[in-house]
Amino acid sequence: MSERETAAAAGKNGAKIGTEPRRVEEANAVHNSNSGTPGNAEARPAGRPEIPTATAAAQVRTTAAADPILVVDRLTLSVASGQNLVQDVSFSLGRGDSLGIVGESGSGKSLTLRAVLGLLPSGVKRTGGEVRHTVRSAMVFQDPRGALDPLCPVVKQVAEVVRYRQGKNRREARAEALKLLGLLGLPDSLKREDRYPNQLSGGQCQRIVIALALACRPDILLCDEPTTALDVTVQRQIIDLIARLQRELGFALVFVTHNLAIAAEVCTRIAVMRQGRLVEEGPSVDVLVRPRDPYTQMLVEAVLPLPEFVSESEDRTRDSGEGGTR
Amino acid sequence: MSTDLKLEKVTVRYGGFTALDTIDLDLSARTTLGLVGESGSGKSTLARTVAGLLVPDEGVMRLGGRILEKRRSREQRKQIQMIFQNPDASLNPRRSVRQILSEALTFHRMTRGRADTERRCRELLERVQLVPGSLDRYPHEFSGGQRQRIAIARALSVEPELLIADEPTSALDVSVQRSVLELFREIQAELDLTLLFISHDLGVIHAVSDNVAVMRQGSLVEIASRERFFSRPETAYSRELLAAVPKMPAAAAGATK
C-alpha cells in the first residue's frame, strides 16, 4: 500500500522530469560511498529504488521503537534544480519517546521536521521515501514572536486553536485555553486581562506557542529550536517545562537543536545530521560520550567546556552551604 | 602608552528607562573582559556607549587617561573599533570586500596611495585567514563565519587599541564559532589589543576572557577574574546563570580525552 504510494509519487515526478534525475541521484549515492563518507554510506545498497520497504525497515537502526507511531523512511527532499536537501533520512519514534536531531545550520534538521508536519516550504518537494504516522502532531517554532499573530491577544489565539482542534464552543474553548496557560506557568493576570504578544517577554511568548501546540492534543510534539532565541535562564525554564509536560502528558518528542547539551538533557536518543544526511543515531549518552562518526566527534569537541564548578553548582544544597560559610 | 579604559558612574537612559545605571568599570590594557548578562541587561548599550554610538547622560569615560567626549577626535575614534553580532547587517552588501576594507584605511589615512592600501588589504585578509582573491567579492558570497572574519579585518584595519566585540559568534555554528574564537585569541596576543567581549554564552566567555563582568538590569552585579568567577561566583545571580547552562552528560570527560 505504502509501497504503491511511493511508486505513485515517483511516477508523478517522473512524468515531469523523466527518470534521469533519479539515475543521477543514484550515481551520486554510489559515488559518495566510494569516496568514503563514513557513517551513512554503508547503510544504503546501490540498487535502492527496487528494494521493497520491508528490507528498508530492517535497515532502520536497532534502536527503533517496537511499535512506532512515526516512521520516517528514507526521506529525500529536493528542490526543483535536483539538489537534495535531505537524503535518505530514516528514523522511527515510539509513543512517549524523545529524539533529538542535532546538526549545524543547513544540515536539514528543520526541513526533516517540517516534512513530518507536511509544512514544507514552497519549492521543496519530497522526491523519495515517506513519512508514516497515524497520530496528531504539532510544532513549536523557533521564533515565538514570529509564530504568534501580533494583532491578536494571546488567550484568544490559544482559545481559537482549542475551538477548532477540539471542537468546543467559545466559552469552553476559553476555559480550556486558560487551563493550558496555567499548566504552562503563565501569569494568572491573563485571566482578567488578555494581552498582545508584544506585551509579553520572549519566554512567555514561547510558553504561549507551546500552549498553541498542546491545544492540538498532539501525540508527537515537534520542537524546532524552541530555546535558541532565549536567554540561558529562560532557556532552562523552557527545557524543564517541556521535559515536565512530556512526563505528564506522555507525548512523543522530536527536538531539533544545534546545542548538543540541550538535546542530551531533553532526549533519550540523538540523531546527528550533516548536509542532509543522518550520520549517526543512538542513545544520547552513547552518541555524545562515544561518538562513532568523525563529524559527531568534531561537534562534541566544539562544545566549549565550562570548569568543574558548574556541575557541582547543580547541587543546590552545596551551593547554599557555600553561601552560608561566606 | 597605556590604554586602560575607565568608566565612572556612566548612566544611559532611554526616555524614562535606565539602560545603564551608574556603571563603574576598569579595563586594563591588553586584557579581555567578558561581559555576560541576559538580553535587556544593558550589555550592548554599554558597548555602544564606549564605542561612541551612544552618548551617556551622566558619567565620564576615559581611555588612556584622556576623556572620551561626546565629540571624539579622529584619533579616539580610531582607537576604539567594534564588531557587531550580525555581519549581514554590518557589512554593506553593495560594496566589495576591497571597498569595505579600504574605506576605513583611507579615512584614517593609514596608508599612502592605492598600492599601499591594496597591500594592506591583502595583509588583513591573510590575518583573518581568507584568501586574497576574496577582495573583489561581495559579502553575500561568503559564509557567516567568513563574513564575521571580514568584519574583524575591517575593525583591525585601523590598528585599534580597544576592540569591542558584541556577540560576534552568536550567529555562527559551533565549529565555526570555535575557529573565530581562536582567531580572536591570536589577534589579541599578536596586536596587544584590549578586548571587551560581550556574549550571553558562558562557554564562549570562559574561552576568551581574563576577567568576567556580569550585568543585570543595567547594573554590574559582579566583576571577577575568570578563575574566580567560574569556580566561586559570589552573587546568587551569577550562580543562577552558571547553573542554567545545559550540560553535557559526562561527555565533558569524553571530550577532553
Q: Phi then psi for B225, rounded to 5 degrees?
A: -70, 160
Whether the CB-CB separation of B36 and B237 falls below 8 Å is answered with no
Helix ranges restricted to H, B42-112: 43-51, 74-79, 87-90, 97-107
Residue B250 has pLDDT above 70, yes or no: no
Would you call A231 and B236 a contact, using CB atoms and an 8 Å cutoff? no
Q: How close, in Å, is residue B7 to chain A by CA atoms? A: 27
Beta strand residue intervals within chain B, DSSP E: 5-14, 17-27, 32-37, 58-63, 66-67, 80-83, 162-166, 194-198, 211-216, 219-225
Query: What is the reported pLDDT for A242?
Result: 92
Paired sense of beta strands B194-198 and B162-166, if any: parallel
* Cell of residue B201, nine digits: 554564552
Chain A contact for B1 (CB, 8 A cutoff): no
Instruction: Please enumerate residues of A whose Cβ is less than 8 A from a Cβ of B.
Output: 104-105, 202, 231-236, 239, 258-262, 264-265, 284-285, 288-291, 298-311, 313-314, 319, 322-323
Residue in A closest to B179 by C-alpha: A302
Q: With a cut of 50, say whether residue A166 has pLDDT above it.
A: yes
- Is the pTM higher than 0.90? The answer reads no
**CB within 8 A of A183, min separation 6: which ones?**
A211, A214, A245
The confidence band for B1, taking pLDDT boundaries of 50, 70 and 90, is low
> Residue B27 pairs with which residues in a beta bridge?
B5
Partners of residue B232 in chain A, C-beta under 8 Å: 309, 322
**B38 vs A312: CA distance, rounded Å:** 22
Helix, strand, or coil (residue B189): helix
* Residues shown for chain A: 326
DSSP calls for A225-250 = STTTTS-HHHHHHHHHHHHHHHHHH-
What pLDDT is stored for residue B73 in this prediction? 87
Going by the DSSP 8-state scheme, the letter that residue A325 receives in this structure is H
Closest A-chain CA to B234: A323
Q: At what angle do helices B97-107 and B144-157 cross, to 10 degrees?
A: 20
- Chain A nearest CA to B49, separation (Å): 23
Contact A211, A144 (CB under 8 A): no
CB A227 within 8 A of CB A262: yes
The pLDDT score that the predictor gives to residue A308 is 65
Q: What is the mean pLDDT of the segment spanning A65-93? A: 89
Phi, psi of A33 (to 5 degrees): -70, -30
- 3-class secondary structure, A259: coil
pLDDT above 70 as % of chain B? 96
Q: Is the pLDDT of residue A12 over 70?
A: no
pLDDT digits (tens, 9 = 90+) for B144-191: 889 999 999 999 999 999 999 999 988 888 888 888 999 999 998 888
DSSP state at residue A190: H
Least confident stretch, B32-36, B55-59, B85-89: B85-89
Distance from the Cα of A50 to chain B's closest Cα (Å) equals 38
Q: Do A260 and A300 form a contact (C-beta atoms < 8 A)?
A: yes
Cell numbers 528543520 correspond to what residue? Answer: A110
Rounded to 5 degrees, φ, ψ at A320 are -70, -30
The pLDDT assigned to B97 comes to 94
Instruction: Among B241, B243, B248, select the one facing A260 at the smallest CB separation.
Output: B248
Taking CB atoms and an 8 Å cutoff, what residues of chain B touch A293?
none
Categorize the per-residue pLDDT at A313 as very low, low, confident or very high, splitting at 50, 70 and 90.
very low
Task: Please give the C-alpha separations between residue B224 and each of B35, B159, B221, B233, B256, in angstroms, as whole numbers.
Answer: 11, 28, 10, 8, 26
Instruction: Give me the mean pLDDT over the B198-202 stretch.
Output: 90
A324: pLDDT strictly greater than 70: no
Helix (H) or strand (E) holding A29, with range, is helix A20-35
Tell me what pLDDT residue B26 has.
92
Question: Could you report the per-residue pLDDT of B99-119, keeping only the tens digit for each?
Answer: 999 998 999 888 888 999 999
pLDDT at residue B7, rounded to an integer:
93
Nearest CA in chain B to A297: B255
Weakest-pLDDT range from A46-50, A91-95, B113-117, B228-232: A46-50
What does R_g of chain B's alpha carbons equal in angstroms?
19
Average pLDDT over residues B11-33: 91
Contact A262 B204 (CB under 8 A): no
pLDDT of amino acid A50: 37
Paired with B82 in beta bridges are B164
Structural domains of chain B in order of their starting residue, each with its CATH number: 5-256 (3.40.50.300)
Q: What is the pLDDT of residue B257?
A: 37
Question: Which residues sit opposite B26 in a β-bridge?
Answer: B6
pLDDT range class, residue A309, cuts 50, 70, 90 = low
Measure CA A111 to chain center: 9
Give kind and range of the element (H or E) at residue B136: none
Backbone angles phi, psi at A194, to 5 degrees: -70, 150
CB-nearest to B230 from A258, A309, A319 is A309
- Write the CA distances from B142 to A196, B13, B149, integer angstroms: 39, 38, 10
Beta-bridge partners for B83: B165
The pLDDT score that the predictor gives to residue B2 is: 62
Which residues on chain B are in Cβ contact (under 8 Å) with A284? 249
Interval A198-220 mean pLDDT? 91
Q: Which of residues 228-257 of B touch A (CB under 8 A)?
A: 230-233, 236, 239-256
Q: Say how far residue A132 (Cα) sits from the centre of its chain.
A: 15
Q: Is the pLDDT of residue A58 over 70?
A: no
Q: Which residues pair with B14 in a beta bridge?
A: B17
Largest CA distance in chain A: 77
